[in-house]
Every structure is written in C-alpha cells, then in structure tokens.
A and B are shown apart, each in its own frame.
Chain A
Amino acid sequence: MESKILKFENFSAGYGNLLVLKNINLEIFEKKITAIMGPSGCGKTTLIRCINRMHELNKEAFHKGDIFLNDKSIFEMNPVFLRRKIGMVFQKPNPFPHLSIYENVLAGYIINGIKLKREEKDKIVEDCLKKVALWEEVKDKLYLKGTQLSGGQQQRLCIARSLALNPEIILLDEPTSSLDPKSTVEIENLLEKLKDNVTIIIVTHNISQASRIADYVAFLYLGELIEYGKSEKIFTAPENPKTEEYLSGKFG
C-alpha cells in the first residue's frame, strides 16, 4: 500500500480578484512521480507554488482550505522550515551566477547560513552530483561558475542543488521546457531514479513526458481538478471526456 505524503483539502487560491485554483482535493503519494497536467493558465504552477508556500510571496496572493504534509497543516509551519523540506526546480535553469558549481550545490546551506565542515561539503557535493549524473562531467571543474555549463547540465545542477538539503518532496515546474530533446531524456531518466528516495511532483505541458515518467497524473482545467489517478488509467481509459480531449490533442 502506498502512503500519502501530501493532501489538499478543499483548497482554493488566487491573486487579487482572480481565483486560480478552485476547491482542489488531492492526495499525493510518497516516493512516486505525480505529474500535474493541463493547458496553459489552468493553475498548474500556482498549485505547486502553494505546496512550498512560495505562492504567498506575491503580495496579492490568497488561499482558502488547507494542505497537509504528513498530516500536519503546512500553514501552521514556519515557511522557512517548510521550504527546506521541499526542493524546487524552475522552468529555466537558474544556477546562481556568482557561485561556482561546487557552491551552487551547497547553495541551500550557504543561503541559510548553515556551517559545514570541509569533508561534509565535499561529500554532499559529490553525492548530489552523482545522483543527477553530473559528477563525471564536472568533477574536474567544480570551481567554474554554474552558469558556464550547458542548459541541460545547468538544470541537473539545479536538481542537485534542490536535493542537497535532503528534501521530502521536490517540485519541478516544467523543468525540461527550455531544454533540447537529449537533455530532456536525461532529466526524465534521472527523475525515475530519484523517486526511490524522494517524492516528485512535476508540472508538465508535455503529454508524452507525463506518460513516460509519471506514476500518477492530475489533470487540471480552468483551475479545477478534472481527473486524478494512476497514470496507466488516465492514459488508457480516462473517465472525463475533457481529459480525453486534452490527451488526444484537441486543445492545449
């Protein structure tokens, strides 16, 4: 039996007068890949930004309802500690340009002012870069700036950076949308390996990507959760006609 790590309960969110997410009820399973799909503007990004409370950084943001992480409401937690438990990878690779590859992996520690011994640092950097299959490519040039790598390598560096704080969940917001097909495949393979240790929630535009890697798929349309279930089921026998229309490419 799969255990639940995250639970949305009657959750709505938006900005100013705009309601983006409408009464979402959703349970995310531990150590699985859950893909959030749907056409542009359906609230995918807002949904994952609520999970680590990044949504609140916008001054006009609001939310109703609740999200539970391991049965504890995230809105009762200190957002600083919550965010350390939840890694995030963005659409465009965004390594810190003033930090080296080595420092970029440790960015979570550096920014939070957590002091580490030299050996601990070396170990974290090596482990995380191995996890994202970047170690062999960069082990001799760790002092280079993170921005000197190729796009695909930068994105893997950003995934390594999000893994360094040992998160329970990592959120990926269309992580391959700016990458070439080869780098995309590399990242997909990587995510499949990573799910042994961490829960992965990925927003994606790309239907075939979701079918390749996701265990569970949530289909959002105009802020509502239209359908959610095991990936095989959604892709072979969707219950809702809207889901079928989207998957068959009638809109999107």
Chain B
Amino acid sequence: MSFEKIYKRIIAIGGVLIIGLLLSIFITLFINSSISIKKFGFSFLINKTWDPVFENFGAFPFIVGTLLTSIISLIISIPFSLSVSLFIGEYYKDTIFSKIFETFIEILAVIPSVVFGLWGLFYLAPIVRNLQIKFSLPPTGVSVFTASLVLSIMIIPYTISVGKEVIKLIPTDLKEAAFSFGATHYEVIKKIILPYAKSGIIAGFLLSFGRAIGETMAVTMVIGNVNTIPRSIFLPGNTIASVIANEFLEAITKIHISALIELALILFVITFILNLIANNIIKKVV
C-alpha cells in the first residue's frame, strides 16, 4: 500500500472515531438513564419536585434555572458583545487597536471557568447581597442573578468571535453605496451592516446560548444550589449542569443516578441541537 493510501486511511479512521465517540456517549447516556426514563416517562420534564429521599425526580426546576440563567446572561451580554463586534469589525477594522482587543477577548475565552466562579463568589456575590438586602430578600449573595452575571462575561467572547467576522465580511461596495446616498456611519450600520450581518450575529448568540446552558463549574459555585423553582432571580436555584455536578458524588440509589444521567442526556441533546442550528446559519453566511 502506498504512503498516500495509508495516510488517507489514518485520517478516515480518525474521523470515524470522533463520530463513533459522539454516538457512544449518546448511547451510554441513553442506556444508563433508562431506569429513570421508564419510571417517570415524560413527566420527568414537567415534575417540579426533585427529592432523592422519596425518590421522586423531576427536571423542571433545573430546566427553568438553566433557561433563566442563560437568557438573562445573553440579554446582559448582547449590548457589550454587539458594540465590541462593531468596534473590531467595522470602526477599527484591521488596526492595531482591534488586534489588541481581539487578543484580550481570546484570553477571556480561555480563562478556566473555576476562576470565573471564584471571582464571582468573592467579588460579585457581595454586590448581589447588597441588592438582596435592598429588596428584603434573604441575603445569600449566591443566586440565579449572580450566576447570570458570571455567565454573561464568560459568553461574550463567543458572540464577538462570530459577530466580528460576519461584520468584517460585508462587502465594501455595499457600504460605499450607502455612503454615496449621504448616509452617516450610524445609518450605514443600522440600515446595511446589521441587516446584512443579522443571521451571523444571531448564530453567535445561539453559540453563546449553548455555551451558557452547558457551563457547569462557575455556575455551580455561585447559583446557590437549591432544587426548587426560584421565585425571584435574586434567589438561589440550580441549573441542569450544576445539579449534576453537585449531586453525582452523593447519589447512591440507582434511580437517583439514573435521573442525573437523564438530566445529562437532556443537556446533551439541547446543546447538540443548538450548535447544529448555529453552525448551519454560520455556514450559510460565511
């Protein structure tokens, strides 16, 4: 066999292995959660109780917690990530300024999440505690809102990395055509750049959203780990990822373990679908 053929085969095996890995993770999760799936069925998704003692398990509080933290963090991060994307991709495109900015943002993306968690616990939690006192809520410091704040910073680089690229891709002659009508820079951004880059920017938000949904360590550290639906965003809660991280060590009964694994399965499917959608949009744009 020629070197060329061996080389091709090795590459092909690598590719197949990756897909196999993904499938086997899915199958493992599915098999190991079968006890819980059989016992609770669909009601697992809408049951509001998570009680290991009475072996009554429902994912609803965590689904709510996950959606709350992800959506709030996305809302907080949007103004920042959008303006930085415009700064790098349009106003200071290809300048030393934007190069420096991009480097810093990339660093933000590689900071270990436990570091964000610690920072949130020691720096953000006291600030949130003051807010809680003002609203006469229990001054826990850790809460859904604290977790959302930490998450919003963590997902900013993801939105920006996609956003700035699609903004850079806008053809110069379209912008010039708009300028030639007497548009101001702001009007060019509002009427040409944003509509044109819209789907790419939305894909960036989806990627960030997927990231926020799956983020575990930092969220577990600052969300307060309470297994009920939070009545206020300033109260503690739990997300799907954080409850798994919190409880897998102390889960002894088969049904408890199986329920946790079913949570993992839900997380796997949601993030998989979100990434699939986002990547499809990006492919169409780029």
Contacts and interface: CB of A to CB of B under 8 A. Distances in A.
Contact of B196 (A98, A112, A165): A98
A111 B181 contact: yes
B272 to A, nearest CB: 30
A119 B178 CA distance: 24
B277 interface: no
Given A98-B196, A110-B191, A90 B177 contact: yes
A112 B174 contact: no
B191 A111 contact: yes
A96 interface: yes
B177 A80 contact: no
A138 to B, nearest CB: 19
B181 A54 contact: no
B171 interface: yes
Interface centre among B171, B177, B187, B196 (most CB of A within 10 A): B177
B180 A113 contact: no
Contacts of A79: 182
Contacts of A92: 173
Q: How large is the interface on B (under 10, 10 to 19, 20 to 34, 35 or more residues)?
A: 10 to 19
B176 interface: yes
A108 to B, nearest CB: 4
A113 B184 CA distance: 11
Contacts of A185: none
B183 interface: yes
Contacts of B177: 88, 90, 94, 96, 107, 158, 161
Interface residues of A, number: 29
A132 B276 CA distance: 45
Interface centre among A92, A108, A111, A161 (most CB of B within 10 A): A111
Interface in A65-105: 79-84, 86-88, 90-92, 94, 96-98
A111 B173 CA distance: 15
A155 interface: no
A97 B196 contact: yes
A110 B181 CA distance: 10
A118 B267 CA distance: 50
Interface of A: 52, 54, 57, 79-84, 86-88, 90-92, 94, 96-98, 107-108, 110-113, 158, 161-162, 165
Given A82-B182, A96-B178, 19 more contacts: A52-B180, A54-B176, A54-B179, A57-B176, A79-B182, A80-B184, A83-B180, A83-B181, A86-B180, A96-B177, A96-B192, A107-B181, A108-B182, A111-B183, A111-B187, A111-B188, A112-B183, A112-B187, A162-B180
Interface of B: 171, 173-174, 176-184, 187-188, 191-192, 195-196, 198
